[in-house]
Amino acid sequence: MKTNDDDIKKALQYKIQRIDDDSFTNNIVAKHLADRKIIKNNNTFINFLPMIIGLSTMILSVGFVLLVRQNNDTIKEIGFTENHGLIILATSIIFLIYKILEEFTAPNMRYKTLGFR
């Protein structure tokens, strides 16, 4: 019985089929590492702080402009005019656009790394 068990094992080991592709292992490892890199990059932290600052500044400047238009006494005492409010508003909009462009054209962003696939 023992001999027969060994014979079966021997037959299977002797006739084992090989994958006729020398780069099989390398391809799997390379594909796995590439997939890993994409997943890692997709999880990259996006800095929302500039966006929050920009949006807050926009809201504040709109608020100031509205107060100036309502002839608010406190605003008048500070010497804040409608033009000042509009300048701050324009600056914050430019700042936001710049930050968004900078963030979404960074090399670690999803659409950049998807092109790598």
Partner 1 sequence: MESQIIKKAISGDSEALTILVDKYKDIAYNLALSIVKNREDAKDITQDSFLKILENINRFRNDSKFSTWLYRIVYNQSVGFVKRESRISSVDYSLLVEPSENNDNQEGAIEDLYKAINLLEDTDRNIIMLFYLAEKSIKEIAQITGLSIGNIKVILHRARKKLFEKMDYENK
**List of residues contacting partner 1 (CB under 8 A):** 1, 4-5, 7-21, 24-29, 31-33, 35-36
| CB closer to partner 1 out of 29 and 106 | 29
Name the DSSP class of 109.
S
Phi, psi (deg, nearest 5) at residue 71: 55, 45
Residue 35 sits at the vertex; the CA angle it makes with 33 and 36, to the nearest 5 degrees, is 60
Nearest CA to 57 out of 84, 75, 81, 77 is that of 84
Dihedral of the CA atoms 69, 74, 76, 78 (nearest 10)?
-130
Provide the minimum distance between the beta carbon of 115 and partner 1 in the complex, in angstroms, as a whole number.
21
Provide the minimum distance between the beta carbon of 28 and partner 1 in the complex, in angstroms, as a whole number.
5
Provide the minimum distance between the beta carbon of 85 and partner 1 in the complex, in angstroms, as a whole number.
53
Provide the minimum distance between the beta carbon of 114 and partner 1 in the complex, in angstroms, as a whole number.
17
| DSSP-derived 3-state class of residue 80 | coil
Nearest CA to 41 out of 112, 99, 104, 103 is that of 112
| CB closer to partner 1 out of 25 and 56 | 25
| CB closer to partner 1 out of 17 and 70 | 17
| CB closer to partner 1 out of 11 and 55 | 11
